[in-house]
Amino acid sequence: MLQQQLLDDLALANTHELVENVRIKYLGRKGLITNLAKETDFSKLSADEKKDFGQKLNELKNFATEKLQEAAERVAATATPVNKRLFDLTIPGSHRAFGAMHPISMVQLELEAIFEGMGFTVLDSPEADTEYSNFESLNVPADHPARDMQDTFWLTNGMVLRTHTSSNQVRALKRFGAPFRGIFPGRCFRYEAIDPSHENTFFQCEGLMVDENISVAHLIGVMKTLLGEVFKRDVKVRLRPGFFPFVEPGFELDLNCLFCEGSGCPTCKQSGWIELIPCGLVHPVVLEHGEIDAKRYSGFAFGLGLTRLAMMKYGIRDIRYFNSGDVRVLEQFAPVL
Ligand code: PHE
């Protein structure tokens, strides 16, 4: 009976530890077999009976030892070798991919920090806006080509997807009054055919500063500080006349080409300059729409191309990567750990 019980126990013992437990249960100091000898009162047994008992006990011990040995060998043969275990601590750690910020977001956050350092407020503004905000308030006449169906996404309710962040100028002036310093970064839309340098969806960062005696000198000063911080070096800029109905005078601010330092290369189309920031002094009509006294206050505005700036900063040659949703592009901006 004890034999069968031992065999049943060993059948379930599939590790060295369990086999050892079985050994202790039967052959240990207080084991079931060991106890047989202890519990027997030999004084009551005859010499023959003692001999017989001793013989049986020995057989039982040998049987148990033999079966335990077999079980130990069985376990050793089937045990998983160290290098095949579920957890192999010698395998090098696996790489975990980290998310990455979109390059436009990175440039936007950088701009926000720079402008906040110069006392500008960062304002959010609607992507779908009224015809008034996007055009009329900005002195864009009804027959201006920019209002054409060709250039603008009109919504069925008569609103537009803003074609530029200037759409927030008058709203901001009405809300905050003068003096005012703010930027409005955001997504803009134009009905354009897409190619390596044109997108129908792109980002701008509008800037607006209104105070007493604001002149072109302030505009240039702020632009140079900004570009110097973005590109981490002293930059040369120049102003060319440019026309926008909401500024007077209006300019195109060009950046001395950072790739060739002005000597001419494919990026600047051999001109030495890169057209970067349309800007100008706020047109008095716009100030009036913003309920600002145009005799007392003047201001400058600029419409920095955020997408363009990101292309320059990161050397991205094709604008279509930005909205492609291709993670292989974004992965290249993930932090290296
Ligand atoms: N809103 C103009 C554009 O998108 C740029 C601009 C902004 C020009 C502010 C002058 C002043 O083209």
User: The whole model's pTM is what?
Assistant: 0.71
Among protein residues, the one whose CA lies closest to atom 4 of ligand 1: 164
Report helix, strand or coil for 47: helix
pLDDT at 310 over 80: yes
Rg of the chain taking only CA atoms, in angstroms: 42
Sign of CA dihedral 107, 112, 118, 120: positive
CA distance 38 to 43: 12
Q: What is the pLDDT of residue 251?
A: 97
Q: Is the pLDDT of residue 280 over 90?
A: yes
Tell me the range of 138-147, 216-225, 258-267 where mean pLDDT is highest.
216-225
Share of the chain above pLDDT 70, in %: 96
Residue nearest to atom 6 of ligand 1 (CA): 303
When comparing pLDDT for 294 and 88, which is higher?
294
Q: Give the per-residue pLDDT at 97.
A: 73
How far apart are the CA of 207 and the centre of ligand 1, in A?
10
Contact between residue 175 and residue 299 where contact means Cβ atoms under 8 Å apart: no
| Better-predicted residue by pLDDT, 129 or 331 | 129
Ligand 1 pocket test: which of 129, 163, 164, 202 has the largest number of ligand atoms within 8 Å of its C-beta? 164
* Integer Cα distance of 26 and 65 in angstroms: 10
Cβ atoms within 10 Å, residue 317: 10
Atom of ligand 1 at shortest range from CA of 188? 4
How many A from CA of 301 to the centre of ligand 1?
8
Ligand 1, atom nearest to 165 Cα: 1
Using an 8 Å Cβ cutoff, are 290 and 173 in contact? yes
**Which pLDDT value is given to residue 91?**
80
CA of 324 to the centre of ligand 1 (A): 26
Reading the block at residue 213, the tokens are 């005696």
**Placement of tokens 């006294």 in the chain:** 293
Cα–Cα distance, 281 to 248 (Å, whole number): 5
Exposure b/e, 221-241, CB count within 10 A at least 16 = b:
ebbbebbebbeeeebebebee
More confident: 179 or 328: 179
Phi-psi region for residue 272, left (φ > 0), alpha (ψ -120 to 50) or beta?
left
pLDDT of residue 257: 85
pLDDT interval class at 37 (50, 70, 90)? confident
Cα separation values, 126 from 31, 36, 98, 172, 291, Å: 84, 92, 31, 12, 21
How much is the average pLDDT of 50-59?
89
Checking if the pLDDT of 133 tops 90, the result is yes
Which of 78-87, 150-159, 196-205, 220-229 shows the lowest mean pLDDT across its residues? Answer: 78-87
User: Ligand 1 centre and the CA of 333: distance in Å?
Assistant: 29
pLDDT at 193 over 70: yes
Which protein residues are within 6 Å of ligand 1, measured from CB?
164, 166, 244, 247, 250, 278-280, 301-303
For residue range 221-264, list pLDDT tens digits in order. 999 999 999 988 888 899 999 999 999 999 999 988 887 888 98
End-to-end CA, the chain:
65
What are the start-end ranges of the E strands in the chain? 121-122, 128-129, 160-161, 180-189, 201-211, 237-241, 247-256, 273-282, 298-305
Atom 10 of ligand 1 has which residue's CA nearest to it?
279
> Which residue's C-alpha comes closest to atom 2 of ligand 1?
303
Instruction: Report the nearest-CA residue for atom 7 of ligand 1.
Output: 303
- In a mutational test of the pocket of ligand 1, which residue from 166, 286, 309 has the highest number of ligand atoms less than 8 Å from its CB? 166
Would you give the DSSP letter of residue 98? Answer: P
> Which of 45-49, 86-90, 213-217 ranks highest by mean pLDDT?
213-217
Least confident of 83-87, 99-103, 138-142: 83-87
pLDDT score, position 25: 92
